[in-house]
Amino acid sequence: MKKTYMLEDLDCAHCAAKMEEGIKKLDGVSFANVNFIAQKLTIEADDNKFDDIMKEVKAIIKKIEPDCVVVD
């Protein structure tokens, strides 16, 4: 399943790169792209693990930039 989310208050380009790297490493993720300029996260991952993966994704994002909010 491929989904796109908005990342509100994503202000640091370096952080965006770190997020993308961290998300790519997650088990079950086949494609991940954090577009800092458009403030968007595009992620493609296994359907059955998707919700769990998204939980981990949100945790990673919170760790790197606490202010950043993932919006569906």
Binding site for other proteins (CB under 8 A): 9, 11-14, 17, 33, 35-40, 42, 63-64, 66
71: how many CB neighbours lie within 10 A of its CB?
A: 10
Q: How far is CA 21 from the centre of its chain?
A: 9
Choice between 24 and 49, CB closer to other proteins: 24
Count of alpha carbons within 13 Å of 5, Cβ hemisphere only?
20
Instruction: Give me the least distance between CB of 55 and other proteins, in Å please.
Output: 16
Instruction: Give me the least distance between CB of 26 and other proteins, in Å please.
Output: 17
Choice between 48 and 71, CB closer to other proteins: 71
- Rounded-to-integer distance, Cα 65 and Cα 44, Å: 22
